[in-house]
């Protein structure tokens, strides 16, 4: 079920997004992210790619940081606008890999696995280049994304379940040859079943670092999460920070 205008995040998803992702709206999930982003923004502006319903943008704005967002889903942005303070945040409707915004920013960020919503490597590379064009020299780009769970796939298996209950089943499907994947949801309400699938492209930390280099950025920090624990081979996610190089620091060619 896909909304032609809003992609995979049209009205049916937007209407229950905050509720279905309630654990990501808790202070424990939001506050450490906002702390880091506010620190990186300093006195400058912040650009959120995939701003959605404002889970991060609104509390960051309340910290005094001017936030501008990009999002393809008008339905999600309508939910942001309906919240207190939502009207004060500028939003450009479009693909965050290519949409241009006026002015420059101290920090840009892309959280909650949203880089994977770009389903080709070319689009992910374009996203880094688009961000680099919007950043001030020395500005930073922050991504929060999971590490692909391929170690959970024995030979011949391509499916990893991540939620099971009497009324809801959720599972990821991986294609390790192409890095394509999808998250799939089956839900039963009042005896009626529904199915929803969203395509993604998973991406490795080292691959992201190369995309950053192509865009004139370099890795500054990589942590296990927002509270800045060390990233290790056992980490299931990472929060990475790249900084925009001065023109004189960029490799020739």
pLDDT in tens, 191-204: 999 999 999 999 99
Q: Decide: 127 and 161 in contact? Cβ < 8 Å.
A: no
Q: Decide: 172 and 183 in contact? Cβ < 8 Å.
A: yes
pLDDT in tens, 107-136: 999 999 999 999 999 999 999 999 999 999
Strand 192-201 relative to strand 90-93, pairing? unpaired
pLDDT in tens, 24-41: 999 999 999 999 999 999
Q: How far apart are CA 250 and CA 253, in angstroms?
A: 9
Domain locations along the chain:
11-148+203-247, 150-198
Provide the 3-class DSSP secondary structure of residue 24: helix
**Which residue, among 145, 115, 119, has the nearest Cα to 130 in the 3D structure?**
115
Specify the pLDDT at position 247.
Answer: 73
Class of CATH domain 11-148+203-247: alpha beta
pTM over 0.75: yes
Specify the pLDDT at position 248.
Answer: 67
- Residues contacting 73, CB < 8 A, separation 6+: 3, 6, 7, 9, 10, 14, 52
Q: Where are the beta strands (DSSP E) in the chain?
A: 45-49, 66-71, 90-93, 105-110, 135-146, 159-164, 168-175, 180-189, 192-201, 217-223, 237-244
């Amino acid at each position: 079920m896909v909304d032609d205008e809003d992609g995979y995040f049209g009205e049916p998803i937007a209407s229950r997004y905050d509720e279905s992702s309630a654990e990501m709206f808790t202070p424990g999930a939001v506050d450490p992210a906002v702390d880091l982003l506010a620190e990186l923004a300093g006195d400058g502006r912040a650009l959120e790619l995939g701003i959605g319903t404002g889970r991060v943008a609104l509390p960051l704005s309340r910290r005094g940081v001017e936030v501008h967002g990009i999002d393809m889903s008008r339905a999600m942005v309508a939910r942001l606008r309906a919240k207190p303070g939502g009207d004060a945040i500028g939003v450009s409707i479009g693909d965050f890999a290519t949409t241009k915004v006026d002015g420059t920013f101290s920090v840009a960020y892309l959280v909650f696995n949203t880089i994977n919503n770009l389903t080709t490597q070319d689009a992910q590379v374009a996203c880094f280049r688009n961000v680099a064009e919007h950043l001030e020299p020395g500005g930073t780009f922050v991504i929060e994304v999971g590490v692909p769970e391929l170690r959970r796939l024995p030979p011949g298996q391509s499916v990893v379940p991540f939620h099971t209950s009497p009324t809801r089943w959720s599972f990821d499907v991986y294609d390790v040859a192409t890095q394509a994947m999808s998250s799939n949801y089956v839900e039963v309400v009042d005896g009626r079943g529904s199915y929803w699938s969203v395509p993604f492209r998973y991406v490795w930390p080292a691959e992201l670092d190369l995309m950053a280099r192509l865009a004139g950025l370099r890795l500054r920090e990589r942590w296990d999460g927002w509270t800045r624990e060390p990233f290790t081979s056992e980490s299931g996610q990472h929060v990475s920070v790249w900084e925009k190089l001065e023109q004189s620091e960029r490799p020739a060619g």
